[in-house]
Structure 1
Amino acid sequence: MQRLQLIHTNFCSNQKVEIERLEEDQIGIIYLNSQTDLNSLSNQMKQELCAAIIELDQDDKIKVLIILSKLNKIFCAGANIKELSDCSYQSQQVSDIFHQIYTVFDSLRKPLIIGVNGAALGGGFELALNGDIIIASEDAKFGLPELKLGVIPGIGGTQRLTQLVGKTTAMKYILTSDLITSQEALNRGIVTNVVKKEHLRDECIKIAKRISEKSLYTLIVAKTAIKNAEELPVSQANKVERQLFNSLLNTQAAKEGVQAFIQKRPPNFKNI
């Protein structure tokens, strides 16, 4: 399986991203924590977030990642407008920091749960759309207001939202810049479930624990197969699925799972 390449960056003393490891449960939590700019996707935030994802993806003790915000009413306010105002076509072509963050998320091997506790706007909504499972608080709001700035979503928003809700609905949300409530997001299949804000972290961890009971390698293979459903024609995706299934038959995880079933006991995938 392809691994992400570690991004080397010198973090400032005022770090915008924090990592918590729940090693007993094999869960890694990434917190966005930049009060001064409402967790906007500044260059520093993007670099730290990418580095944190890569660090946890390469940590063999971690099976599941969670991204949360430490701000009370904001998940992520989107692009840093000041930095965006200083950006030109030429400079963006050279640095292309949005391509970097897109690539890091797209290459992440492990399951990713994202808990949205408030406003997820522009790049913040696009960030959330990278989650394999998205859980929202009751007061969460989503939106892609980029057209109000004379630009369009640039981190996969037009593609991922269209895949989830269909062309006409995506057109409505993107062209009008309308906000999407948590309940509407649930009804449209954008989020997995909606919980009270005070229960958001616990709900993310509860689901992550159930996932972490599985074999790490099997989780990675399952995620690959599911992503193929979006990216490949059905016939080709089915063929790859069978190949991936066959590749698992002689693994330690498959042997443990089959033996546990025969012996009528829970399987133990702790270090598999």
Structure 2
Amino acid sequence: MDTLTYEIKGQVAEITIESPPANALSSTILADLNEILNELDAEKSLKAVILKGEGKFFSAGADIKEFTEFQGGKENMSFKGQAVFDRIEQFHAPFIAAIHGAALGGGLELALSCHMRFVTKKAKLGLPELGLGIIPGFGGTQRLPRYVGDAKAYEMILTAEPVSGEEAVKIGLANGAVEEEELLDHVRKVAASIAAKSKPSVEHVLRLVPNVYESTLNAGLKDEAERFEEVFRTDDAAEGVQAFIEKRKPEFRDK
């Protein structure tokens, strides 16, 4: 692949977008990302995936030139992008976006499909599509309000004005903001902390949190109780409880 690379270290994978100068999301990048997801999906021991960009940006948007070749129906680039981003959101291990420089347009929509986002303080995050006479098409109108609320989402989309990394944290769009030289180390520490947990527990949490948007409270609580019982019967749960009693770190075997 010419546009993306990935490597696996222990139970954490790192995907890097390498398409200078802007890491713009082209149909080729979407296809390559989909192929990487196929390969990582087979790595069932993975507990976290870091997504980052090489060069000056995380991703400064979608490839606008390709939009001039717009095709309708299933060839619509919007459908293609949404399908890939849905896979990220539903992946069996959490995705963590490490955002520096800019995450704009499709780049922000890609980050929104991740489970967590960490940014540099001076990064720019926004959806500038209305400035081009178009609208977000990779899920921005649906995912952004879930993090920042309807009013802020309207403001960001309708004005097409980006927010800084520091403001992104304040409005709930990002988990944390650090200096650029600290970003990768910080994100890797977060990923390592997740990787130290039991795989069954991590997977169940990934299935439960989306219930907030997709089901009623009662249905979500019922699902949580059922999954709690299932997890409590695992070997890792027994190990975790015993380790707590013995005041030591648990040694999970992901069973």
TM bucket (normalised to shorter chain) is over 0.9
Any idea what SS the aligned residue of 2:137 has?
coil
The CA deviation at 1:62 is: 1.9
Report if aligned partners of 2:61, 2:106 keep a CA contact under 8 Å in 1.
yes
The CA deviation at 1:230 is: 2.5
Find the aligned partners of 2:161 and 2:254 in 1 and give their Cα distance.
46
Q: Choose the corresponding residue for 2:137, options 146, 154, 164.
A: 154
The CA deviation at 1:29 is: 0.3
Pair 1:57 & 2:44 matched: no
Instruction: Give deviations 1:56-82, integer Å, cap 9, x for gaps.
Output: 2321332110001111x2111211111
Range that drifts further, 107-116 or 81-90:
81-90
Pair 1:29 & 2:20 matched: no
Any idea what SS the aligned residue of 2:136 has?
coil
Instruction: Give deviations 1:64-117, integer Å, cap 9, x for gaps.
Output: 10001111x211121111111111324635993123213312321211111001
| Alignment-derived partner of residue 169 in structure 1 | 152
Instruction: Give deviations 1:114-173, integer Å, cap 9, x for gaps.
Output: 100111110101111112111001221011011122221111111111111111111111
Question: RMSD across aligned C-alpha pairs, in angstroms?
Answer: 1.7
Amino acid at match of 2:13: G
User: Relative to structure 1, is the Cα distance of residues 252 and 120 closer, same or farther in structure 2, using a 3 angstrom cutoff?
Assistant: same
Any idea what SS the aligned residue of 1:74 has?
coil
* Structure 1 length-normalised TM: 0.89
Report if aligned partners of 1:56, 1:65 keep a CA contact under 8 Å in 2.
no
| Alignment-derived partner of residue 87 in structure 1 | 70
Amino acid at match of 2:219: Q
Unaligned runs of 5+ in 2: none
Amino acid at match of 2:6: I
Find the aligned partners of 2:249 and 2:100 in 1 and give their Cα distance.
34
* Structure 2 length-normalised TM: 0.94
| Alignment-derived partner of residue 264 in structure 1 | 247
Report if aligned partners of 2:129, 2:160 keep a CA contact under 8 Å in 1.
yes
